[in-house]
Amino acid sequence: MFRYPNGKVYKPQEDIEKRRKKSITYSNRGMTLEDDLNETNLYYLENNIAVIHKKPTPVQIVNVHYPKRSAAVIKEAYFKQSSTTDYNGVYRGKYIDFEAKETKNKTSFPLQNFHEHQVSHMENVLAQDGICFVILSAFDEIYLLEAEALLKFWGRMKNGGRKSITMDEINVSAHKMTLGFQPRIDYIKIIDKLYFN
């Protein structure tokens, strides 16, 4: 038996290949929507296009264990308040605020993915003449759905109607985006068409 300097046992290549074939998984092959958006926002920032950041979730830390000064461990924490939307910032002098949502559903986008306080926040942003929207990852596509459209679907649900947005409704109401290299999800291109033309 041979060991590496770190103590691990040397395994012949054929054993590694057998284990690799057994453990191959195709879930999470790509980046998540949030990772793609963070990369996009970094591109916008570095190229002086827009300043958009992910909002941190406000947390109240209650109990911390300090086994030693450099190794603090949070043992108990609570959300201070409900968060609003995922991202906000400024582009060409306009306030931008948006939420990112994903679904694996193949035929519709469930409105239960949104919370009442998020929808209320979007209404408040629109009332202040801000730009507000949702970036949806659904049906193997990426869409930008303006908050005004989401509010119509939300109102329909509140009045006893359908509790989801159908694929056909998204294809009509939302703006389909293609994934790129840099930026990964170029939502500013859609914002330019909608608000600055």
pLDDT by residue for the chain (197 residues), tens only, comes to 556 556 666 666 655 455 555 444 434 434 588 999 999 999 999 999 999 999 877 677 777 777 777 777 777 777 665 667 889 999 999 999 999 998 888 889 999 889 899 999 999 999 999 999 999 998 889 999 999 999 999 999 999 999 999 999 999 999 999 888 889 999 999 999 999 98
pLDDT at 24: 42
Radius of gyration of the chain (CA): 22
Are the C-beta atoms of residues 87 and 132 closer than 8 Å to each other? no
Are the C-beta atoms of residues 66 and 72 closer than 8 Å to each other? yes
Map residue 27 onto helix, strand or coil.
coil
Nearest-angstrom CA–CA distance, 3 and 10: 5
pLDDT at 79: 66
pLDDT at 25: 40
pLDDT at 1: 54
Q: Which residues are known binding-site members?
A: 84, 86, 99, 118
Burial 73-101 (b: 16+ CB within 10 A, else e): eeeeeeeeeebbbbbbbebeeeebbbbbb
pLDDT at 27: 41
Break the chain into its structural domains and give their ranges.
40-56+84-195
H-run or E-run covering 181? none
pLDDT at 77: 74
DSSP state of 23: H
Map residue 133 onto helix, strand or coil.
strand
Nearest 10 degrees: CA dihedral of 99, 105, 108, 109? -20
Give the residue from 101, 106, 111, 115 showing the smallest Cα distance to 143.
Answer: 101
**CATH class of the domain comprising 40-56+84-195:** alpha beta
Nearest-angstrom CA–CA distance, 19 and 2: 19
Nearest-angstrom CA–CA distance, 114 and 133: 13
Q: Which residues are known binding-site members for Mg(2+)?
A: 84, 86, 99, 118
Are the C-beta atoms of residues 52 and 91 closer than 8 Å to each other? yes
